[in-house]
Copies of this chain bind each other. A is one copy, B any other.
Amino acid sequence: MGEFGLISRLAEVLGPPASDDAIVGIGDDAAVLRFGREHVLVTTDTMVQAVHFLPGSPWEDIGWKALASNVSDIAAMGGEPRFALVTLALPAEQPAADSESVYAGLRACAERYGVSVVGGDVVRAQQVAITIALLGVARSGGGEPLLLRRAAARPGDAIALTGTVGDAVGGLLRMKDGTPPDDALVRAHLHPEAQLAAGAAAVTAGIRCAIDVSDGLLQDVGHICEMSGVGAVVQAGAIPVSEALRKAFGKDSLRLACTGGEDYQLVVVGQAALMEGLIRSAGVPVTVIGEIIDSADPRVRLLDDAGREITFPSRGWDAFRS
């Protein structure tokens, strides 16, 4: 049934949160929890060896990326990260130096984004895996949290993207071919940055809808459409692709950009006038790539310059299909 079918069945088994203080529960980039007057954001992400990273990946990069992918979830809510719990699963025979390298990478990422690691667990398992729970705070205005929600897209809104997409999966493919870790695309795969400043700028610009590109651009825009009850059209020619990706993958770079995942760029959705403000203030390139449309079909339509639809065999990552 695939990852998303399973998640939705499990959410049904759990039922809705009992507490009114769960402002946002399952189904967004992070949960939003009210504690007194505070709005706490919390998210968790896991990376499993041979599933989420190749054996042979540098341990420091694994630590960095495990935290950066969680910071990206907080960025996609427009919040600020604060505290992390880290669980490291590893075989009994794994050298302690490997764990220390994972934590050195974690520390570098924590310092980069202002996160304090305050706890965790170390457990024995067959495969190395790292699970992080990250707590943050929502920005607020007049006592209310100011959030970027998946469910806040409206017909007519512009769809924009920070940076370029496809580099991470391009790097993964090159790494499989033996390209060393200092290659620019391989770096994008191993050592992504979270778009924390862009998320903050989006909230400040009055935008209220975003997601981070973790599964793949089309699939992630699709999550916004499902949660908002809208459709979307994306212009293939507008999708920003790096020179490095184009040079390495030629015509295939569009497919990688649309379906690759793990770029941790932000998809930001809002009125065109607000988006112009964000483009001026974001501090990183922000490119309009499409539009939200009034549609009962949450499928994202990808169009070429002549208005013809482009389709790919897969729209992105699915833990139980790929």
Across the interface, do B133 and A42 meet the contact criterion of CB distance under 8 Å?
yes
CB-based nearest B residue for A321 = B92
Q: Given that A15-B107, A51-B124 are contacting pairs, would A135 and B22 also be in contact in the complex, using a CB cutoff of 8 Å?
A: no
Across the interface, do B118 and A31 meet the contact criterion of CB distance under 8 Å?
yes
What residues on B are CB-neighbors of A96 within 8 Å? 1, 6, 9
Instruction: Check if A43 is an interface residue, CB within 8 A of chain B.
Output: yes
CB-based nearest B residue for A118 = B31
Across the interface, do B46 and A116 meet the contact criterion of CB distance under 8 Å?
no
Q: How many angstroms between the C-alpha atoms of A111 and B121 in the bound complex?
A: 25
Instruction: Check if A162 is an interface residue, CB within 8 A of chain B.
Output: no
What number of copies of this chain does the assembly contain?
A: 2
**Interface residues in A265-322 (C-beta closer than 8 Å to B):** 319-320
Across the interface, do B122 and A7 meet the contact criterion of CB distance under 8 Å?
yes
Instruction: Check if A188 is an interface residue, CB within 8 A of chain B.
Output: no
The contact string, 1 if C-beta is below 8 Å from chain B, for chain A 16-30, is: 011101101110001
**Interface residues in A1-50 (C-beta closer than 8 Å to B):** 1, 3, 6-7, 9-10, 13-15, 17-19, 21-22, 24-26, 30-31, 33, 35-38, 40, 42-46, 48
Instruction: Check if A106 is an interface residue, CB within 8 A of chain B.
Output: yes
CB-based nearest B residue for A26 = B119
What residues on B are CB-neighbors of A14 within 8 Å? 103, 106-107, 110, 117
* Segment from A79-87, A148-156, A230-238, A240-248 that makes contact with B: A79-87
Q: Determine how close the nearest CB of chain B comes to the CB of A40; give it in whole angstroms.
A: 6
What residues on B are CB-neighbors of A180 within 8 Å? none
Instruction: Check if A219 is an interface residue, CB within 8 A of chain B.
Output: no
Across the interface, do B127 and A33 meet the contact criterion of CB distance under 8 Å?
no
Q: Determine how close the nearest CB of chain B comes to the CB of A273; give it in whole angstroms.
A: 33
Instruction: Check if A158 is an interface residue, CB within 8 A of chain B.
Output: no
What residues on B are CB-neighbors of A3 within 8 Å? 122
Across the interface, do A44 and B133 meet the contact criterion of CB distance under 8 Å?
yes
Q: Which of B10, B45, B110, B121 contacts A44 (CB 8 A)?
A: B121
The contact string, 1 if C-beta is below 8 Å from chain B, for chain A 220-264, is: 000000000000000000000000000000000000000000000
Q: How many angstroms between the C-alpha atoms of A41 and B243 in the bound complex?
A: 47
Across the interface, do B83 and A33 meet the contact criterion of CB distance under 8 Å?
yes
Across the interface, do B83 and A46 meet the contact criterion of CB distance under 8 Å?
no
Since A6-B96, A42-B83 are in contact, a sample of 6 more A-B pairs with Cβ atoms closer than 8 Å, ordered by chain A residue number, is A13-B107, A14-B106, A18-B111, A22-B116, A38-B38, A42-B118
Give residues in A with beta carbon < 8 Å to B: 1, 3, 6-7, 9-10, 13-15, 17-19, 21-22, 24-26, 30-31, 33, 35-38, 40, 42-46, 48, 51-52, 82-83, 85, 87-89, 92, 96, 99-100, 103-104, 106-107, 110-111, 114-127, 129, 131, 133, 135, 137, 319-320
Pairs A-B, 3 closest by C-beta atoms:
A133-B133, A17-B116, A31-B118
Pick 17 A–B contacts, CB within 8 A, sort by A: A13-B104, A17-B83, A22-B118, A24-B118, A26-B119, A26-B120, A31-B85, A31-B118, A35-B82, A36-B36, A40-B135, A42-B83, A42-B118, A42-B119, A43-B119, A48-B123, A127-B127
